[in-house]
Chains A and B, each alone.
Chain A
Amino acid sequence: MNKFWVGLFIVWPIAAILSCLISPAMGWWFPGNREAATQLGQQIDNLFFLILYIVTIAFIATHIALAYVLWHGCQNTQEKAWYTHGNHNLEVLWTIVPSGVLLFIALYQMDVWMQFRVEAAFPNEIQAAVREPIAEVTARQFEWRIRYPGIDPTTGHPKLLRPKPQPDDLYTVNDLHVPINRPVGIRLKSADVQHSFFVPGLRIKQDAVPGQVIPIWFEVMREQLDDDGNNIGYDLTCAELCGWGHYKMRGRVFAQTEEEFWIYLKKLHHEQFYDGVMKPANQSLIQKE
């Protein structure tokens, strides 16, 4: 039986590592088996892999040691076990080495976090994006309400988003469109309980806290296309328990070119202000493009 039990403690770590190795092929890996569609997300993925490699080494090393001591312990034919109370040098060694590794991991992470959240450390273009958000997302049981600024009739361009709702603001539900290849800022709010804005494909997550407006930003690098080349958007989900319908807070984030985004806003404007009788006043805006 000794062989069986030692075997169990050898086989299970091997099975664990094998299951990690086959995960990408089985689709049990990052969404769509693709790297993140934001640069920040790719850095997050790189940090994830860095930690994964470090812990895999630690996992294998400790389990080899464990298997070794188990095999020798259960086969021990000496009259008595080894009488020792420990080893000072070993204690020092295995205190200093892990603390160095852990400190390295901790310090190595700081930059990405600063880029994501610490406003004082933002580069100018990101500060501008956060100052002039393209939309306000308000989480609510159980949907995402999105408010875009209205369109300036003289220039045909979107206005700046005001903190307070304006009469010509544009609204959608569960359908966030953002321009591609530039940092975009979002004002994140909650209308009732706590929610969390989670876009797995972009590696973006931020809680929406009642009573607080939290700025987030991201820069999408590519559109999410299906096999036929249609833009199907990234999944938007809620990651903080918000009630019985938590699981169905399903939205989409469409990343598209700047022109497509403007056309989308103008279409939205048209739909929202078209009263069905008069010729839409701003139709010329759409045809202008």
Chain B
Amino acid sequence: MSTLNPASGVAVEHTEAHAHAEHHELSFLRKYIFSIDHKVIGVQFLFTTLFMLMVGGSLALGVRWQLARPWEFMPIFGSLKFSATGGQISPEFYTMLFTMHATVMIFLVIIPILAGAFGNFLIPLMVGADDMAFPTLNMLSYWFMVPAIFCFFISFLFGGGPAAGWTSYPVLSAIRDAAPGSGAAQTFWLLGVTFVGVSSMAGSVNYMTTIINMRAPGMTLFRMPLTIWSMLITAILQAFALPVLTAAGFMLLFDRFPFFGIHTTFFVPSGLVINNADPTVGGGQPLLWQHLFWFYSHPAVYIMLLPAMGMVSDMLSVHCRKPIFGYKPMAYSMAAIAGLGFIVWGHHMFISGMNPALGMTFMVSTMMIALPSAIKTFNWIGTIWGGKFQFNAIMLNCIAFVTLFIVGGLSGIFMAAVPVDIYIHDTYFIVAHFHYVLFGATLFGVFGAIHHWFPKMFGRTMNDTVGKIHFFFTFVGFNGTFFPMHMLGVAGMPRRYADPYIHPYLEHLLPLNQFITASAIVMGFAQILLLGNFFYSIFRGSKVGRNPWNANSLEWSTPSPPPHGNFDVPPVVYRGPYEYSSPLVSDRDYLMQTEYLSPEQEEDADSASSS
């Protein structure tokens, strides 16, 4: 509710003091490697996660190759590791492939690219702060990714990699003899997840503090862009859910190794004879791990989705030149998703053997979480409704987000229904569902966000034509890959099968799997366009000024790229971030959050927005 005038003396004094503060030279190492500048850290996260996206993608192509040409020569993996068998991979290597595909994509791509890359880069810029609340902690949050990546990579050296799936259900993951990947590889996997957890926790503490305490004058909670709302809610989710996973990880480590004379059996019941080893002793309960794991990992699903929802809301509003449709319902529904997200974890365990009565409670809460998702979808369509836009790469990726999220959301209803889940649980229907949400929604949102905020990061734009071609092949390849997986699921094809065709009822699905693999290869190679466009544009893209999209939010009032300390004029916020096509200004269709209008005009604005 501030009516401060940025032209007043106070603000100008501020500016000069600020200019002095930012004027100090840093060594290359402090500026680009061990930087405490949130923008550099964000870009570091972006480079790392884009590299990991390619790693995770090639692991996925390995999985697809095996399903299209089972036990035949596999390029790259086969020739590197299995030259003795003519490039034919082993079944334990297949389990390693999908385990590491999921691990890399979830822990090293999706979570860090949303919270790490875009959260870091955008939060201080969008709330009008000069940096994060705890810059050194922020630097550590990036550098804790390095031991995590190191642990995941080193786990390949032991027995071909961890092979218990990304969910690492005990007893398979608790007994070292249970599977080829359950030895040292599993230990390093657990350590890697723990390091990722430290990184996320450092980030989330920072995001919460920055968003709550460091907003510019006038930036009330309900003037924050939805991106910031989503980052705040995500950070809260992380902070509350992550300790449970970390604790569970340590419990599993203690089960696996007698540290300091402690040899626990939290998850291992007695009397199991695994792989002809001695019978286990203990009195643990494997379901305990599932409860702890999903208590984190279900909220984590929303950690992997909410920031993309927020960013897509902002991008749609900017590129449709329209205020967001239903700002408060959008913010409230994100909060509702986060709140409900804590009481739905049991829907991963409907057939796990937990008390069946729980299945019914979890079904109702899971059904209800579809409601805020539906509200958001309607509001996105409402935002596009009556807009005025051209199809650029950003717009296309955001529309893809909406249309693919609809599919992912609707297919979720099938597995929320317990009786139907009896049949489709752990089939390819599930695989189709979560790829529609995590790839179809989140990654398309991220592709859009890369194009949208690239000018702010590097001061240049990405090539729009190449972006559209990349979008086209990714979108077509994506649907060709994942939509038929619904049918595989209905046909009863279970997940994580190295060779489903030994089962008579799955034999006839080979051609469909080959089609899926061909589509996946198209989609995989299309990412070369993204990377090429990205790196070419860093050096050769056309230069832009502060506000290439004529957007309203605070980050566009800084130079591109913003200097150390971000704002040359400390921002004062007068209105929400979505005043596009406002009748208050006649010469243009945007009205920045920092733009001062006289009190009379403001009154008009208030009455216009409340009507």
Contacts and interface: CB of A to CB of B under 8 A. Distances in A.
Interface of A: 1-2, 5, 8-9, 12-13, 15-16, 19-20, 23, 26-32, 41, 43-44, 47-48, 51-52, 54-55, 58-59, 62-63, 65-66, 69-70, 72-74, 76, 78, 80-87, 90-91, 94-95, 98-99, 102-103, 105-107, 109-110, 112-114, 116-119, 141, 190-194, 196, 198, 200-201, 203-207, 209-212, 214, 235, 237-248, 250
Interface string B261-295: 00000001111111100000000111100000000
Nearest to B164: A241
A84 B384 contact: no
A19 B323 contact: no
A244 B179 contact: yes
Contacts of B499: 247-248
A74 to B, nearest CB: 6
Interface of B: 90-92, 94-95, 163-165, 169-172, 175, 178-180, 268-275, 284-287, 320-327, 329, 351-353, 356-357, 359-360, 363-364, 367-368, 370-371, 374-375, 377-379, 381-382, 384-391, 396, 399, 402-403, 406-407, 410-411, 413-414, 416-420, 422-423, 425-427, 472, 475, 479, 483-484, 486-488, 490-492, 494-500, 502-505, 508-509, 512, 578, 580-583, 589, 608-609
Counting chain B CB atoms within 10 Å of each CB, which of A78, A116, A209 scores highest? A209
B91 A194 contact: no
B503 A237 contact: yes
A81 B274 contact: no
Nearest to A100: B371
B371 A98 contact: yes
A82 B274 contact: no
B494 A83 contact: no
A116 B418 CA distance: 10
Counting chain A CB atoms within 10 Å of each CB, which of B352, B375, B484 scores highest? B352
Contacts of B403: 9, 12-13, 63, 66
B491 A66 contact: no
B327 A85 contact: yes
A288 to B, nearest CB: 35
A66 B403 CA distance: 8
Given A19-B483, A81-B321, A94-B375, A44 B423 contact: yes
A141 B94 CA distance: 17
A206 B353 contact: yes
Nearest to B365: A106
A69 B381 contact: yes
B274 A193 contact: yes
B488 A28 contact: yes
A16 B363 contact: no
Given A191-B272, A204-B422, A207-B352, A109 B384 contact: no
B91 A244 contact: yes
A12 B413 contact: no
Contacts of A73: 320, 384-389
By Cβ-Cβ distance, the 8 closest A-B pairs, closest first, are: A211-B269, A82-B386, A200-B492, A86-B326, A117-B356, A28-B487, A244-B92, A247-B497
A82 B384 contact: no
B583 A83 contact: yes
B417 A248 contact: no
A239 B500 contact: no
A66 B273 CA distance: 57
Interface of A is mostly: helix
Contacts of A242: 172
A69 B509 contact: no
B353 A235 contact: no
Contacts of B422: 44, 116, 203-205
Given A94-B374, A117-B359, A245-B91, A82 B385 contact: yes
Contacts of A82: 322, 385-387, 581
Contact of B417 (A47, A190, A210): A47
A86 B492 CA distance: 43
A29 B492 CA distance: 8
A35 to B, nearest CB: 12
A78 to B, nearest CB: 7
A150 B492 CA distance: 34
A2 to B, nearest CB: 6
A83 B582 CA distance: 6
A48 B414 contact: yes
28 contacts: A9-B399, A12-B475, A13-B403, A19-B487, A31-B492, A31-B505, A55-B413, A69-B385, A73-B388, A74-B391, A76-B389, A82-B581, A85-B327, A86-B324, A90-B378, A102-B371, A106-B367, A113-B418, A191-B272, A193-B178, A194-B170, A200-B492, A200-B505, A206-B353, A211-B270, A235-B504, A240-B169, A245-B91
B356 A118 contact: yes
A66 B490 contact: no
Contacts of B91: 244-245, 247-248
Given A28-B512, A81-B386, A194-B169, A246 B410 contact: no
B277 to A, nearest CB: 9
Nearest to A209: B353
A5 B378 CA distance: 21
Contacts of B321: 80-81
A200 B378 CA distance: 36
B299 to A, nearest CB: 20
A32 B505 contact: yes
Contacts of A32: 505
A239 B379 contact: no
Given A16-B483, A241-B169, A31 B325 contact: no
A135 to B, nearest CB: 18
Nearest to A198: B494
Counting chain B CB atoms within 10 Å of each CB, which of A8, A28, A30, A59 scores highest? A28
B519 to A, nearest CB: 12
A83 B418 contact: no
Contacts of A85: 323-327, 578, 609
